[in-house]
């Protein structure tokens, strides 16, 4: 891949609305991505391997539990800092951001919010430092958009629970040390259980041949009569609202993250358009190419403002699930369209690994699907504004 010359666009001087701390945190993450992610990420994606060597660096920039209190090893930051870190990581690669999202919002968050003090003390510091990596099992082979239909279940055996079932499409599963798993009890109520790698009957086969998120490891979580100690049940929340609450936090991070991927595509296409000469002049001088660039920077700016306002609402604990859903849907769609246009602007070079655009574009096909598909998020907004449920 060519050297990383990324310069972040800020068309509306949004930096002026950030605090000094926000900018320091964002710039540290930006520098780390340029130094430690950009040089290796193309090869990792081509080889379809998660680059485990970057785990300490992710922990170092506060990407594991940015908003988890420092007492538990987190970075104790606000929601805008969390968003900015996700933006910078996804500027490097959506798969790396996925790893951070899962660790923070889908593993640490439920242990922090729904766990007891012993569980927090046992797991959170090791997850924050990256010594342990986590995965989140909600989706099943027959229950994706409709997780409430899950069949993974556990029985109370007196001194332990017996867990059976299978989860599919699980980020980090092949190498996770712990998994937060959502399963039904004998009354059909959904609870979260912490399953550890060495529990007998627990396996995590990898899903191969993905054309998207190739630098992120994806797999299954299979439970065959797994004996889970009773102290591993998350005691403080149950029902589908518990996993969906974790998704709120992860979807918020994605809304910010994809701005990074879009900025990288825009910045690459802008630079290329000034250098690439056809018909005797730079292609950036042709109106059709300028239209694409003008629309890209407009959409990036709108997405930045949407996230900043959402971050303010999150900081005040006022952001609704439907507001978060709208930002996830809008910003992923925005990034995917920009990636597709930017790829076209690079002509044949756009399909090579010399430039990051095709990788971003293929990654975003997963991002538009996971954490609720684009259409599911349209229906969430539809329900919110009409009061009428179009899911079922």
The set of catalytic residues is 371
> How far apart are alpha carbons 10 and 12 in whole angstroms?
6
> How far apart are alpha carbons 190 and 376 in whole angstroms?
21
- Select the residue interacting with ligand FAD from 119, 171, 232, 289 (CB under 6 A): 171
- Select the residue interacting with ligand FAD from 37, 75, 170, 217 (CB under 6 A): 170
Residue 101 interaction partner, one of ligand FAD, ligand TGC, none, beta carbon < 5-8 Å per kind: ligand TGC
> How far apart are alpha carbons 174 and 205 in whole angstroms?
6
Helix (H, G, I), strand (E, B) or coil at 151: coil
Q: Which is nearer to ligand FAD, 301 or 373 (CB)?
A: 373
* CB contact at 8 A, 247 and 373: no
* CB contact at 8 A, 342 and 266: yes
- Residue 174 DSSP label: G
| 147: contact with ligand TGC by CB under 6 A | yes
Backbone angles phi, psi at 180, to 5 degrees: -90, 115
- Strands 277-278 and 281-282, by their bridges, are antiparallel
Residue 201 interaction partner, one of ligand FAD, ligand TGC, none, beta carbon < 5-8 Å per kind: none
Question: In Å, how far are 19, 83, 178, 192, 234 from 231, measured between CA atoms?
Answer: 41, 33, 14, 12, 8
| 65: contact with ligand TGC by CB under 6 A | no
Write the DSSP string, 70-109.
GGGTS----HHHHHHHHHHHHHH-HHHHHHHHIIIIIIIH
Residue 240 interaction partner, one of ligand TGC, ligand FAD, none, beta carbon < 5-8 Å per kind: ligand TGC
Contact positions with ligand TGC (CB under 6 A) in 355-384: 370-372, 376, 380
- Select the residue interacting with ligand FAD from 218, 273, 325, 330 (CB under 6 A): 218
| 79: contact with ligand TGC by CB under 6 A | no
> How many Cβ atoms are within 10 Å of 48's Cβ, its own excluded?
17
| 101: contact with ligand FAD by CB under 6 A | no
Q: Which stretch binds ligand FAD (CB under 6 A): 78-86, 148-156, 280-288, 367-375?
A: 367-375
Contact positions vs ligand TGC (CB under 6 A):
98, 101-102, 136, 138-139, 145, 147-148, 171, 239-241, 244-245, 247-248, 250, 321, 370-372, 376, 380, 391
Contact positions vs ligand FAD (CB under 6 A):
102, 136-139, 144-145, 169-171, 213, 218, 366, 369-373, 375-376, 379, 391
């Amino acid at each position: 891949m060519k050297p990383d010359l990324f310069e972040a666009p800020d068309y509306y001087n949004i930096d002026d609305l950030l605090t000094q701390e926000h900018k320091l945190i964002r710039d540290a993450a930006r520098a780390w991505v340029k130094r430690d992610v950009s040089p290796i990420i193309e090869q990792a994606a081509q080889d379809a391997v998660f680059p485990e060597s970057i785990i300490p660096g992710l922990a170092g920039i506060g990407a594991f539990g940015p908003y988890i209190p420092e007492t538990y090893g987190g970075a104790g930051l606000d929601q805008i800092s969390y968003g900015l870190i996700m933006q910078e990581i996804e500027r490097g690669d959506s798969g790396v951001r996925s790893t951070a999202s899962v660790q923070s919002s889908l593993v640490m968050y439920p242990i922090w919010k729904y766990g007891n003090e012993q569980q927090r003390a046992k797991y959170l510091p090791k997850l924050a430092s990256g010594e342990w990596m986590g995965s989140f099992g909600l989706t099943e082979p027959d229950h994706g958009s409709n997780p409430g239909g899950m069949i993974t279940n556990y029985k109370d055996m007196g001194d332990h629970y017996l867990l059976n079932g299978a989860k599919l499409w699980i980020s980090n599963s092949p190498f996770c040390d712990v998994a937060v798993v959502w399963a039904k009890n004998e009354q059909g109520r959904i609870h979260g259980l912490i399953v550890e790698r060495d529990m007998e009957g627990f396996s995590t086969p990898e899903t191969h041949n993905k054309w998207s998120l190739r630098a992120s490891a994806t797999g299954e979580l299979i439970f065959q009569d797994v004996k889970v100690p009773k102290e591993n049940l998350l005691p403080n929340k149950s029902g589908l609202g518990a996993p969906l609450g974790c998704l709120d936090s992860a979807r918020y991070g994605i809304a910010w993250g994809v701005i990074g991927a879009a900025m990288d595509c825009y910045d690459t296409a802008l630079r290329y358009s000034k250098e690439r000469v056809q018909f005797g002049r730079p292609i950036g001088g042709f109106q059709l190419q300028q239209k694409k660039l003008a629309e890209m920077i407009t959409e990036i700016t709108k997405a930045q403002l949407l996230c900043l306002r959402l971050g303010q609402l999150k900081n005040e604990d006022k952001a609704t699930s439907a507001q978060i859903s709208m930002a996830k849907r809008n910003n992923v769609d925005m990034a995917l369209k920009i990636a597709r246009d930017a790829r076209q602007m690079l002509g044949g070079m756009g399909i090579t690994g010399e430039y990051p655009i095709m990788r971003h574009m293929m990654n975003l096909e997963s991002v538009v699907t996971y954490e609720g598909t684009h259409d599911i998020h349209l229906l969430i907004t539809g329900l919110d504004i009409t009061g009428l449920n179009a899911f079922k």
